[in-house]
Structure 1
């Protein structure tokens, strides 16, 4: 069975896809400093090189065969140009000099797939199942089962994703606010993991044939630490994906270092 295991201390995971292993990350938001400058007039030091080196170091450390970005490779919601395009070009070249790269289209990736069509494998916004295996009861109809489903999460997914072993998504940038005994607090990126409710995951579930053993849902932390996110344990915060939190009726939160915080609704 394909498995998805977080890299300890990192906003990334390794997926066993059968014939290959892939590094999965979400929400790279390349060009975020450029975007914040134009959108909000905020000047920040440029960390493009750090992001690129971080990704390449993870590829080397994990020894994977592919990089899969679960949406929002880019930051600005427009066709990439200027400094943002330059950062994307350098980043994509650095990665693809090492391994093939797959982009699952996110809401910030308008124009990215077209601009870099020669360099990337692209999966549409509805997601797809990768690393499928042939069914043991295959009767010649080409059916597959299992695999790892990948999507960004800003729109309703393809119903076929419910047949995967694991569903991996980005978009939410989950974070937790932790307080100490003297009133101090800090915000940390987090993973959310739990059993998926297929009936809440699909927009029109009336004709959905729900699997006997629903997949696990893994909501990835943002790779880019500057991109903000959803505080899952702060009252008044709302999720971004149209199917959350209903599609994750019971789920645990984990810090990047692997610390289990328990049910994300009760942290």
Structure 2
């Protein structure tokens, strides 16, 4: 990427993951890993499922190798239970974080499930606060709340964002777990994970609606990531009455396209 060029964020075909090319380094981004979800479902709903901890860990490590990434960035909800991790969930997190950080550094953007994780693994992870931060176009991780400049903005999406994200070229978020329900000609249906991408509306993105005029005239692209964990459910974006979870959606994405994991473009998510 030439100096001054906008960073590219491209999905990995067939996977709920994307690569951000920052010029001199490549970031692998995923959202909503929800490690320990089987433990959570057992307590929350009395549902017994075999653990896929090994599969989740191997998929992440495989994607790091496949994409030749220099860093893994988790866009929130690395863990599932909203508490300090313990038992089987903590064991999964210990093994997952060790396997990843033996290969590349790891950044966690704090999600609504991650307060206990951020504290428990502070020595192993770089943590960006819940309001998000900007990963700079010069290749440096810039994760404080006063950062400005071009680059990739990252947040989870459960709270109002840091307004400095509007200085990024593209903003990546999780939290929504977007899904689409597709129906065939004979009435059958299936649900698939999806990406949402479109131009961000800055005035709907920040809490008070007051933004710098430059941000309003040249807004970043917003990319809403599918959940990495296929067991975590999600928001059916093309079903009437389905509510979004982020306080700024759907208003901050007035026109956005949905894409399946295989790259199929479905068009405007409101008209699927």
* TM-score after normalising by structure 1: 0.95
In the TM superposition, what is the alpha-carbon distance from 1:131 to its structure 2 partner? 1.9
In the alignment, which residue of structure 2 is the partner of 1:239?
244
CA distance in 2 between partners of 1:84 and 1:262 (Å): 38
Contact 2:72-2:107 at 8 Å conserved across structures:
yes
* Structural RMSD (CA): 1.4
Instruction: Describe the SS at the equivalent of 2:122.
Output: coil
In the TM superposition, what is the alpha-carbon distance from 1:34 to its structure 2 partner? 0.3
In the alignment, which residue of structure 1 is the partner of 2:177?
173
Question: Which portions of structure 1, spanning 4 or more consecutive aligned residues, are displaced by more than 6 angstroms?
Answer: none
Contact 1:159-1:208 at 8 Å conserved across structures:
no
* TM-score after normalising by structure 2: 0.93
In the TM superposition, what is the alpha-carbon distance from 1:111 to its structure 2 partner? 1.1
User: Which of 159, 164, 172 pairs up with 1:160?
Assistant: 164
In the alignment, which residue of structure 2 is the partner of 1:22?
27
User: Which of 188, 191, 203 pairs up with 2:195?
Assistant: 191
In the TM superposition, what is the alpha-carbon distance from 1:20 to its structure 2 partner? 1.3
In the alignment, which residue of structure 1 is the partner of 2:46?
41
Gapped runs of 5+ residues in structure 1?
Answer: 135-141
Aligned residues: 260
Contact 2:158-2:247 at 8 Å conserved across structures:
yes
Instruction: Describe the SS at the equivalent of 1:217.
Output: strand
Q: How does 1:5-154 map to 2 (within 5 A)?
A: 5-133=10-138, 144-154=148-158
Q: Deviations over 1:187-224 (max 9, x none)?
A: 00000000000000000123544422110000000000
Q: Which moved more, 1:154-163 or 1:13-22?
A: 13-22
Instruction: Describe the SS at the equivalent of 2:271.
Output: coil
Gapped runs of 5+ residues in structure 2?
Answer: 1-5, 140-145
CA distance in 2 between partners of 1:202 and 1:236 (Å): 24
CA distance in 1 between partners of 2:18 and 2:210 (Å): 33
